[in-house]
Chains A and B, each alone.
Chain A
Amino acid sequence: MSDGEIIGSYIVPVHPHTYLVPEKNPGWTKLREAFDEAALRIKNSEADLLIIYSTTWPSIIGHQIQADPNPEWVMVDHDFHDLGSIPYSFNIDSEFANAWNEANHMRGLKSRTINYYGFPIDVGSVVALKLLNPDNAIPAVIVSSNVYANRSETSVMAKACLDVVRNTGRKAIAITAMSLSNRMFTENIDPADDKIHSLKDDEWNCKILELMEKGRLEDVGQLSRTIQKQIRVRKVVAFKPMWWLSAMNDNRNDLTGEVLAYEAIHGAGAAVIHLDPASCGTGDKEYDEDDVEYFYGDRSVLDSNDSETTTIDEEVEEIDETISTEENGPALWEPTTADGSVNSDSAPKPVGAYPHARRVGDLLYLSGVGPRQALTNSIPGGPIHDEDGEPLDYDIKAQTQAVIDNIASILEEAGSSLDQIIDVTTFLVDMKRDFQGYNEVWAETLGKIGPTRTTLAIRALPTPIAVEMKVIAQFFD
């Protein structure tokens, strides 16, 4: 099977006017024509999956993924109910939805699939699917927009989706259902009088469109918080879909962009934009924020012994949560077994499918060992960064000692001990900061035994730790 990929992306507006009453305003007509053009392009592509991230489907407990293979109902907008009803019957790829959900869990995210008769599919998703996929020829998946999610959670969720796209060889189209500026007129208006709510909103929208025309999607993602503050109603929390869409496109800045239409819907900025993965050659970008692979978010709020006070900032997304070392990191695995494998309940759970150690002849090879604690998964000396990748202060000596204690537990399980270690390779994520502290603990422990040693600086480890050791021991009779 050939590798799956994102073969195109679209940004489309959420309000029902383009579907129900495009003829009532020339701008709405243009948006509808742009929708139709996008539908044609999708039809003529080799797309076999539509993936929708919708800002009009909020969630609280992580992200939700629609998995009902054939959701049917009649959608009526909460605000624009007088424009009419939209009956729908969609073709959802529930297998993909379930795989995506699993992939989210593998990357440390909270998510669940939704498969309930009568579930109210949101207006943004309904309009997008009705207009972009009118005969349901291509199966779709829909994901919610979490009201508390930050950039790392949102982009890691996109990466989990990409994992599944690639593993299953899909040719997918990524779609965000969203407004640009989302300020609407707060009174009823004559359709003929529709325009962008304010000049300021219009100017920001034009700036976004200029970047999109140049394919600079990641730059728009990096501007997400600024855009949110300037032209977005606060409740929606952030201009998150651009985080998601950029991550779906490998955070690229050199896509080929085309704005098919830009008009107002009841004051909000509505655009149909096509982003093609073909490189347009202008690729400069400057990262203000890290590219995160795993979600290390706080997931311990249910623990009633966690009594730290939360600091409330002005916006929900800014809430400063206490980092839980207990659950900080990727999913944990049970150690695997094979001929000669050794696994210990007193050593930290693996973060993948491997045993703690394996005996070959009189040699014992250990998998890389870090400082995490076996039962709690906490990190002595503290994690090195928080859920957003923001650095935290930590104690390298405590971490190093914990690594050695974990090694001792595994050796003991194998019937060996620390004094039988013959070779150690140590990985440090910050040589400059940590070498000295690590070296001091070493001198007091393994240094007195005398294994050969190699110390390397590396960029990152899978969990938020600063030190890991790879050990070989020999069974001396």
Chain B
Amino acid sequence: MSLSLGVFNSKIIALAESDKDPNPLRHDMAKGKIVAGCIAPHPPHLVYAENPDQNEPTSEGGWEQLRWGYERLRESLSEIEHDVIVILSPHWQTYVGTHFLGLENFQSLSVDPVFPNLFRYHYDLNIDVELAKQIHDNAEKAGLAVKMMENPDFRVDYGTITTGHLFNPKWDKPLVVISSNRSTDYYSAEVMQEMMIELGRITRETIEESGKKAVILASNSLSHRHFTTESEIPEDMSKEHIASHAMHLWDMRIIDYIRSGQTQRILDEMPEFIEQAIAESDGGGLSWLISALDTPDYPAILHGYGTIIGTGNAVVEWPCYKHEEGSQ
């Protein structure tokens, strides 16, 4: 294990002690909470298939199983009040710590560098800078390397925009957007998990302190082996299937844990899952999500599963609002 992690651990202990000081703000307002946590994958194909006004290319549909899954997710949460959506996106890849979008509004054109033929989306999104900064500050106090992103020319990554659109096509709620620290690549999946479990805890506690109601989204696929070819018509569903049987088995194993409330097992098996299924949870999103939900032991709702150019994708909701007794 790296030296820097040792330093980071000792700082956490320091925080735990200083945290005994009561925060006056915290007692003045109602306690905030995470009302739901979701796996909300971001393949641009899904936005392409929906033909929203914001996206330039047009399609004949495709990937309906997953899009219906997103529909069920939106329906499921339509009556659940929330103030903010917190997203961890594996396509804002940062090597120097974890970053947070730090300006009130971002508007631009997002062109996917990998699938520019499918995704050229005109976005206009608002950030809850206050909450982003609070999570940033608390993470910094805990010894994590963090940075606020305050450059107005910055283009928001297409993963954030895709997940943002699919979860909330009206874009009427502010976001907190958290980058994906590449610690799996730099160190190991184990180090990544320690950092993300810590960031998850900080995210939960900060949301509680803030008095806000939040939905949190891990924007990642499950197994992540792509095809290296694209069919003539990208939305030709006769060409879509999982990349290999091994990938399918891994996806089903993880989904089984998701549906039976065994999130601790997901954390335990994460290093193998990442290595053997090239899982996109290497970016930390899923570990962060599970930790932020306090490692729930109740079943999550699987709203949909499908493949996109061979990768496995699940739309999943942990309905925290139904389990408030059991959660913090």
Contacts and interface: CB of A to CB of B under 8 A. Distances in A.
Interface of A: 57-62, 74, 76, 78-82, 84-85, 110, 112, 114, 116-120, 122, 146, 148, 183-188, 233-236, 266, 297-299, 301-302, 304, 307, 309-312, 314, 316, 319
Contacts of B162: none
A233 B114 CA distance: 21
B54 to A, nearest CB: 13
B145 A116 contact: no
Nearest to A301: B227
A449 B276 CA distance: 57
Interface stretch (B23-31, B70-78, B240-248, B314-322): B240-248
The bracket for how many chain B residues form the interface is 35 or more
B131 to A, nearest CB: 20
A120 B111 contact: yes
Interface stretch (B61-69, B89-97, B203-211, B289-297): B89-97
Nearest to B236: A302
Contacts, number: 132
Interface in B139-183: 145, 147, 149-151, 153-155, 157, 179, 181-183
Contact of B228 (A117, A186, A187, A301): A301
A245 B268 CA distance: 42
B265 interface: no
29 contacts: A60-B226, A61-B114, A61-B228, A62-B228, A78-B93, A79-B96, A80-B96, A81-B154, A117-B120, A118-B120, A119-B111, A120-B111, A185-B96, A187-B96, A187-B145, A188-B147, A266-B96, A301-B310, A302-B229, A304-B238, A307-B245, A309-B244, A310-B244, A310-B247, A312-B244, A312-B276, A312-B277, A316-B278, A319-B225
Nearest to B114: A60
A116 B225 contact: no
Given A85-B151, A188-B145, A310 B111 contact: no
B114 A58 contact: yes
A60 B114 CA distance: 7
B145 A302 contact: no
Nearest to A308: B244
A78 B4 contact: no
B260 interface: no
A85 B225 CA distance: 34
A98 to B, nearest CB: 16
* Most chain A CB atoms below 10 A, which of B145, B149, B228, B231: B228
A310 B145 contact: no
A186 B239 contact: no
B230 interface: yes
A116 B115 CA distance: 11
A85 B94 CA distance: 17
A14 B118 CA distance: 27
A301 B185 contact: no
Contact of A78 (B94, B150, B153, B238): B94
Contacts of A297: 228
Nearest to B282: A235
A233 B186 contact: yes
Given A188-B145, A310-B243, A319-B225, 8 more contacts: A76-B155, A82-B150, A85-B151, A186-B186, A187-B96, A233-B186, A312-B244, A312-B277
B116 interface: yes
Contact of B153 (A62, A85, A116, A148): A85
B324 interface: no
B275 interface: yes
A110 B95 contact: no
A275 B153 CA distance: 36
A57 B116 CA distance: 13
Of all A-B residue pairs in the complex, the 4 with the closest CB atoms, nearest first, are A310-B244, A235-B185, A85-B153, A187-B145
Contacts of A112: 117
Contacts of B241: 304
Contacts of B113: 57-59, 119-120, 122
A289 to B, nearest CB: 21
B246 A78 contact: no
Contact of A184 (B95, B154, B309): B95
Contacts of A82: 147, 150-151
Contacts of A81: 99, 149-151, 154
Given A81-B154, A188-B147, A314 B228 contact: no
Interface of B: 4, 92-97, 99, 109, 111, 113-117, 120, 145, 147, 149-151, 153-155, 157, 179, 181-186, 225-231, 238-239, 241, 243-247, 275-278, 309-310
A299 B230 CA distance: 10
A447 B324 CA distance: 86
A85 B245 CA distance: 45
Contacts of B231: 302
B53 to A, nearest CB: 17
A174 B186 CA distance: 30
Contact of A186 (B150, B183, B277): B183
A76 B275 CA distance: 31
Nearest to B179: A78
Given A85-B153, A233-B186, A310-B243, A188 B96 contact: yes
Contact of B116 (A119, A310, A319): A119
B227 A302 contact: yes
A351 B155 CA distance: 45
Contacts of B185: 233-236
Contacts of A184: 95-96
A319 B148 CA distance: 38
Given A76-B153, A302-B239, A312 B95 contact: no
A463 B247 CA distance: 32
Nearest to B231: A302
Contact of B243 (A79, A186, A299, A301): A301
A76 B151 contact: yes
B228 A299 contact: yes
A82 B154 CA distance: 10
B143 to A, nearest CB: 10
Contacts of A78: 92-94, 157, 179
Contacts of B114: 58-61
B154 A118 contact: no
A187 B97 contact: yes
Contacts of A59: 113-114
Contacts of B149: 81
Nearest to B2: A186
B129 to A, nearest CB: 15
